Amino acid sequence: MKKYSRQREALLTELRGRYDHPTAEDLYFSLRAIMPNYSLGTVYRNLADLSAEGIILKITSGYGPERYDGNIKPHGHFTCKKCGKVYDLAGFYEKHIDGQKMVEELQKSEAAKDISTINEIRIMLYGTCKNC
């Protein structure tokens, strides 16, 4: 058990120290360099647990494999449709989108007739990045 919690901590430290929204495989290759016994299956299991617990963010953009973010504060993302990379839109979300107001207005409207609770807003923009 001890080994698994250590691996989980190492994954969390790695993810929180980078801003490129790595895939499970990206994390696996980085973690293998410091913990040779870390298996891809364990990386997937830890990622699933951590995202289910709300400690990390799982990003499903629709382009390429799922990616992960150690920053769970609301912030906007941009996905490159060519390479599948996900970029942070630093400050953009706060500046342009009043999430609280949007949710309040939505909850009063006919559009929310089937919605019980709203507890998360995700903003994803799509296009092509400068590396592509």
Contacts to Zn ion by CB under 5 A: 69, 80, 82-83, 88, 129, 132
Nearer to Zn ion, 25 or 104 (CB): 25
Q: How far is the CB of 26 from Zn ion (least distance, A)?
A: 14
Shortest reach from residue 122's CB to Zn ion, in Å: 10
Instruction: Name the residue nearer to Zn ion (CB basis): 35 or 89.
Output: 89
Question: Can you spell out the DSSP letters for 31-92?
Answer: HHHH-TT--HHHHHHHHHHHHHTTSSEEE--SSSS-EEES--S--EEEEETTT--EEEETTH
Contacts of 25 (CB under 8 A, 6+ apart): 40, 65
Whichever of 19 and 44 has its CB closer to Zn ion, that residue is 19
Residue 132 Cβ vs Zn ion, minimum distance, rounded to whole Å: 3
Using Cβ positions, the residue closest to Zn ion within the complex turns out to be 80
Q: Rounded to an integer, what distance in angstroms lies between the CA atom of residue 7 and that of residue 38? A: 7
